[in-house]
């Protein structure tokens, strides 16, 4: 059976439930995923005075072929993008600036240091998102940045975040699509704090100063990302979920939910509907925590499908900014991007091929038997046949054929890197 024949058969199965499969594929092709650049070089960046990775995050593994320059990173991203159906975005961190061999302090970064990325984004038809980098730096060595008691250090990071928002606006203006500039800080304490309030007051004041600087909202959208704990901040994180949820709602900012930043049995899928009731938009970092915020490559697991269901069943495709955040150095990094991003898109397709209106009706009627029966039956509907056709239609390899391309790329390009 050809991919086309498989599709025609599968399409009929879904159409019996009133699902317009061609419309679904059209909708899916317009959905951008923000692909994080840092999977390509283990969150290293290209600073001249580059510091060790810090901030309570860690990358394990030593797979050969990591990108060492902006050119290599972009080449690897292009390879991954060629294997992922649809038009997407690329998410940068400030440490990916290009400064021509000069040391430029992070609070002095300017749009010109990202001109190479903008040029590349234009050529490849991708939007850009951005993050100030408040880790891997000697001014963050004690794990405190925007909540630091030292006013000089705090000022440095405030200035870095302001500079980053301006870089975000530059991306948005140049590329004609608003940039999501997301602030995440590592600040916290290893052991039980004697004062939880004061650092949070300082963080609030820092954010107020950062956002007091006007930046065109048509080009730059601000987000804040919370966390539960990190390595070295096990007992207390200043920017907790409650902190940022309160801050974002009161100040009209986007809350960014990272799926690795909650208690292990707490799910982001269960938060989306609540957040959307009180906020126009919400942003995600989709990751896969394995026992901790381990940032494993995203797989097509129950939680990923549930996140996708929540976005689709609440008609929120344009209200949830989907970004990815994982970094695995134990496998081929181009494959990591490809697997994780294809899975995110697969989950969205799976959700779009579900008869949500009928399932909602069953719940309202209290018909939980049929609700469960259908939810389970749909898991084995011929979703794979639709996915394969979608890949073919979008001009990327169907099924596992992409892996051969990654293997060839590894042979011809990655293995030649020192």
Ligand X SMILES: C[C@H](O)[C@H](O)[C@@H](O)C(=O)CO
315 is in an annotated binding site: no
Q: By CB under 6 A, what part of segment 84-123 binds ligand X?
A: none
Question: Which residues bind to Mn ion, rule: CB under 5 A?
Answer: 258, 285, 325
| Catalytic option among 93, 113, 261, 346 | 261
**Catalytic site includes residue 258:** yes
Report phi then psi at 189, rounded to 5.
-130, 145
How wide is the angle at C-alpha 20 spanned by C-alphas 14 and 22, nearest 5°?
105
Minimum CB distance to ligand X, residue 285 (Å): 5
What track of x and - describes contact with ligand X for positions 312 through 351 (by CB under 6 A)? -------------x--------------------------
CA distance 145 to 138: 10
Q: Residue 293 interacts with ligand X (CB under 6 A)?
A: yes
Q: By CB under 6 A, what part of segment 225-254 binds ligand X?
A: 225, 227
Q: How does DSSP assign 326-362, residue by residue?
A: ---SSS-HHHHHHHHHHHHHHHHHHHHTS-HHHHHHH
Query: What's the DSSP call for residue 66?
Result: -
Residue number, 120 or 262, with CB nearest to ligand X:
262
Minimum CB distance to ligand X, residue 34 (Å): 11
Site residue total, ligand X (CB under 6 A): 11
Q: Residue 41 interacts with ligand X (CB under 6 A)?
A: no
Burial of 78 (0-12, 13-18, 19+ CB in 10 A): middle
Residue number, 41 or 258, with CB nearest to Mn ion:
258
Minimum CB distance to Mn ion, residue 96 (Å): 16
The two structure tokens encoding residue 211: 């956002």
Long-range contacts of 140-144 (CB under 8 A, 24+ apart): 140/54, 140/55, 140/186, 141/54, 143/54, 143/55, 143/56, 143/186, 143/187, 143/188, 143/189, 143/232, 143/233, 144/187, 144/199
Residue number, 42 or 410, with CB nearest to ligand X:
42
Minimum CB distance to Mn ion, residue 258 (Å): 4
Residue 387 contact partner, candidates ligand X, Mn ion, none, CB within 5 to 8 A by sort of partner: none
CA distance 175 to 226: 28
| Residues forming the site for ligand X (CB under 6 A) | 38, 43, 57, 131, 184, 225, 227, 258, 285, 293, 325
Binding site for Mn(2+), by residue number, is 261, 293, 295
User: From the annotation, which residues make up the binding site?
Assistant: 261, 293, 295
């Amino acid at each position: 059976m050809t991919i086309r024949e498989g599709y025609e058969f599968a399409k009929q199965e879904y159409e019996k439930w009133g699902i317009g499969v061609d419309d679904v594929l059209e909708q899916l092709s317009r959905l951008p995923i923000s692909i994080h650049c840092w999977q390509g070089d283990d969150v290293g960046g290209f600073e001249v005075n580059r510091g060790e990775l810090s901030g309570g995050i860690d990358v394990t593994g030593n797979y050969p072929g990591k990108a060492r320059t902006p050119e290599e990173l972009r080449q690897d991203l292009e390879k991954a993008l060629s294997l992922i159906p649809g038009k997407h975005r690329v998410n940068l961190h400030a440490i990916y600036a290009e400064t021509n061999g000069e040391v430029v302090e992070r609070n002095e970064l300017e749009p010109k240091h990202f001109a190479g990325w903008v040029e590349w984004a234009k050529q490849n038809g991708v939007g850009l998102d951005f993050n100030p980098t408040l880790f891997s730096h000697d001014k963050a060595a004690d794990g405190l940045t925007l909540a630091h008691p030292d006013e000089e250090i705090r000022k440095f990071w405030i200035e870095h975040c302001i500079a980053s928002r301006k870089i975000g606006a530059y991306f948005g203006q140049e590329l004609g699509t608003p940039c999501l500039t997301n602030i995440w800080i590592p600040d916290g304490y290893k052991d039980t704090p004697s004062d939880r309030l004061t650092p949070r007051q300082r963080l609030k004041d820092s954010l107020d100063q950062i956002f007091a600087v006007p930046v065109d909202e048509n080009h730059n959208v601000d987000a804040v990302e919370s966390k539960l704990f990190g390595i070295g901040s096990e007992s207390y994180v200043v920017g907790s979920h409650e902190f940022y949820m309160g801050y974002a709602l009161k100040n009209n900012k986007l809350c960014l939910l990272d799926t690795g930043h909650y208690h292990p049995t707490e799910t982001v899928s269960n938060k989306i509907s609540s957040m959307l009731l009180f906020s126009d938009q919400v942003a995600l970092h989709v990751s896969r925590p394995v026992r901790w915020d381990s940032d494993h490559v995203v797989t097509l697991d129950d939680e990923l499908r549930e996140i996708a269901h929540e976005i689709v069943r609440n008609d929120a495709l344009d209200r949830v900014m989907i970004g990815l955040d994982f970094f695995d150095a134990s496998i081929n990094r181009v494959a990591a991007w490809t697997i994780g991003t294809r899975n995110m898109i697969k989950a969205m397709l799976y959700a779009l091929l579900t008869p949500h209106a009928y399932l909602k009706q069953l719940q309202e009627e209290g018909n939980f038997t049929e609700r469960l029966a259908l939810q389970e039956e749909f898991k084995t509907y011929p979703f794979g046949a639709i996915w394969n056709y979608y890949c073919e239609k979008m001009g990327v390899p169907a099924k596992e054929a992409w892996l051969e391309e990654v293997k060839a790329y590894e042979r011809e390009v990655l293995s030649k890197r020192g």
